[in-house]
Structure 1
Amino acid sequence: MRFLPLAIAAFALSVPVTAAELPAKVTVTMENFSYTPAALRLHSGHAVTLHFVNDGSGGHDFTAPAFFAAATMDAANRARVGPKGRVSLGKGESADVTLIPKAGTYKMHCSHFGHSALGMTGEIIVD
């Protein structure tokens, strides 16, 4: 009977991590002058991996300085975002950023000349 706790602990350590324990993953597709989805809904305090994909014919970025500044990230993810709160991708590139968002409503846009004016904008809602 005294070995039962050890057996339970050994079993728990051998069980693989389930999908429910991994951060949620949200794909954000950048196309010519649009984001899909244009409105992101995230949960405050819950880890999420934002998977950015550039399907456009040229370079695009996902700029959301207030959102990224408020979020909790490790150093590697903070470096991917950079000091201006931006994830920049060339044609056909993709990148992942894992973070824990903070409650609020944030604006996002592409900072390339004219892209915002042509509709490459959106919002992030974290509740």
Structure 2
Amino acid sequence: MRFLLLAAALALTAPALAADPSAKAEVVMANFSFNPEALHLHAGQSVTIHFVNNGSGGHDFTAEEFFSAATMDAANRTKVGGAKGRVSLGKGESLDVTLTPKAGEYPAHCSHLLHSTMGMTGKIQVD
């Protein structure tokens, strides 16, 4: 009897567990680096990327092709600067962007003067 009650309880809670299919990822911007340097995501799976700037000044995460190919609502499209495909953050700021990525490999960099030359580059791999 206890087994049947447990099985029924699990069956009732399973849809609630599946109600939030959004995966989570984090990109930390520091002085001339992204962590992780290579972001791995799943094509067609909604993901919320939490961007954090831990650097001593402003940085951005520019990935025009990636953001352009991804599906997202208007509010999230605004967060990435529309066609610019850029998340810009001041020192200590953070921002969440929710999107559904398209398969491919995409370059990313900080567009601030000389930041990518100094190593602030990365890639996004979507399988």
Residue 87 of structure 2 corresponds to: 87
Shift of 1:20: 7.3
Distance 1:58 1:19, change over 3 A: farther
Residue 54 of structure 1 corresponds to: 53
RMSD of Structure 2 on Structure 1 (CA): 2.1
CA distance in structure 1 between the aligned counterparts of 2:95 and 2:21, rounded to whole angstroms: 18
Residue 68 of structure 2 corresponds to: 69
Residue 44 of structure 2 corresponds to: 45
How high is the TM-score relative to the length of structure 2? 0.85
Q: Secondary structure of 1:18's match? A: helix
Structure 1 stretches of at least 4 aligned residues deviating more than 6 Å after TM superposition:
none
Identity over aligned residues, as a percent? 66
CA distance in structure 2 between the aligned counterparts of 1:58 and 1:47, rounded to whole angstroms: 30
Residue 120 of structure 1 corresponds to: 120
Read off the aligned partner of 1:92 and give its amino acid letter: G
How high is the TM-score relative to the length of structure 1? 0.85
Gaps of 5+ in 1: 1-10
CA distance in structure 2 between the aligned counterparts of 1:111 and 1:70, rounded to whole angstroms: 19
Shift of 1:16: 8.1
Residue 111 of structure 1 corresponds to: 111
May I ask how many residue pairs the two structures share in their alignment? 117
CA distance in structure 2 between the aligned counterparts of 1:20 and 1:55, rounded to whole angstroms: 32
CA distance in structure 1 between the aligned counterparts of 2:117 and 2:19, rounded to whole angstroms: 39
Distance 1:17 1:60, change over 3 A: farther
Read off the aligned partner of 2:118 and give its amino acid letter: L
